[in-house]
Structure 1
Amino acid sequence: MHMLTNAGPLVSLIAGILILVVPRLLNYIVAIYLIVIGLLGLFGSHIR
């Protein structure tokens, strides 16, 4: 679980750079982020 907490800032940095380079990716990045957060919220307690 420690690896997952360290991945947050790295994913944010990569997403920010991609949005600066290709602004059209913003919709996809936000959508994927929301889906992942939603799935972790729903099924995160079942993974442990």
Structure 2
Amino acid sequence: MTLAQAAQQEAQASASFSINGIIALIAGILVLIFPRILNYVVAIYLIAIGLIEIFDIRIG
């Protein structure tokens, strides 16, 4: 693996973490604003994170 490939792989990994972070932040804000939708927010969060991990979705 060359240095360029290692840098590209590192950039892809950090983009993947930012997707998870954004989803978690939005879910947390929704739960704070609307506490009654906790079950739906948790379910949607788990489905979204599962799809991101299974299909290796990346930004950029």
Number of equivalenced pairs: 45
Q: CA RMSD in A?
A: 2.2
Q: TM-score, structure 2 length as denominator?
A: 0.50
Which protein is richer in helix relative to its size? 1
Higher relative contact order (CA 8 A, sep 6+): 2
Q: TM-score, structure 1 length as denominator?
A: 0.58
Runs of 4+ in structure 1 off by over 2 angstroms are 1-5, 33-44
C-alpha displacement at 1:13, in angstroms?
0.8
**Which structure has the greater CA radius of gyration?**
2
